[in-house]
Structure 1
Amino acid sequence: MPRKANISTQDLTDRALEHFWKNGFHASSMDDLVKSTGATRHAIYGAFGGKKQMFLACFQRYQDLVVSPAFTQVEEDDATLEQVASYFEIQITRAEEIGLPGPGCLVANSATEVAPHDTEVHAKVDAHNTRLKQGFLNALNNEKPDVPPEELEMLAGLLVVFTNGLWSTSRLTKDGEFLRTSADQFLETIRTRITAP
């Protein structure tokens, strides 16, 4: 049998991320990962120590490749709900390009599949959701700084819940316009809430 070519750790992580994102953690055997990454078991264990460690490494790579390019704008000092709307649009467009129904969000998927039974994955999910909440809170503060802080914090939390629900819905629908309209309507509800007398 010909020897498989050496693969960099980053390339290996990228290929593993694609596989886990589409198939989940529990449905992915080591044989599946060997096949989808083109690496040997020895290479996988050498780079990560095992399947679980490889999965955890994919979380940071997911932030780098998928989350940050769309969400960093929400974290800018002058961000408002306009940047939140742009974040949703970028990710919905990406989902359409991949093909709907699609893989959803790696983190939202892992929140239901793995996190309830695994403290390390739970921590990764919490860190992601905390990042989203802080970004949304930043945008809300800039949008309407005179709203009581506890109100804005509650709305930022609601935006996190909505976001996770939106990406989960993208695993079930072929209709990108439905996702787009849902995001627009939800943001309009938030705007109405913070501008009400």
Structure 2
Amino acid sequence: MNYTLDFTPVINGLPSLLAACLGTLGLAVGGMVLAIIIGIGGVILRDSPIRPVRWLVKAFVELIRNTPFLVQIFFIYFALPLAGLRLDPTPTAIIALGINGGAYAIEIIRGGVQSISKGQVEAGLALGLHKSQVFRLIVLKPALRAIYPSLTSQFILLTLTTSVASAIAAYELTSVAQRIESDSFRSFEVYGAVTLFYLVMSWLLMSIFGLIQSRYFSYPVK
């Protein structure tokens, strides 16, 4: 079968695709901010002295981590309106991404906090440091150093997961690519270009996060 490559639809749609990349990053940033908020709140509740609260957090983590993201976003977009809560595609995508990422962030942040031994905190207090100084110097930065690689990997994964939001027509790269493909029927060219866009975004994010890590979260050289 002869197939002639024609990237004209991709070239013509390039402004829309580039704008959609910003939409993808916007969904990812919004979802990650919500995920971190859920993660911090979940860690606090996870260690609550109230047993049912701890059980609820554990159940939330297991539920989200063991169900498909597509089902989660469909539930928010199609099922919640039956209960009177109707959301547009973009807020739905951000909330779904935040909830999904939050379940993983709870475990990531909790692991970072638990990596700081109580002895270090007690030593800081014994040296006369204020509680805020102990938190900032002894707890916060080592904990961030411990969880930073996992959090950044989760952010990149969340960025790629935004493509699922095309199932509810949220504004992001894959949904725009689907419209261009449906108009041109040039599947190979359109989705080949989209693959390249995702690779470039992932590489740029990894590079930026790597620079931040080397500047702020690297271990001192002895």
Q: TM-score, normalised by structure 2?
A: 0.24
Structure with greater proportional helix content:
2
Structure possessing the higher relative contact order (Cα contacts under 8 Å, 6 or more residues apart): 2
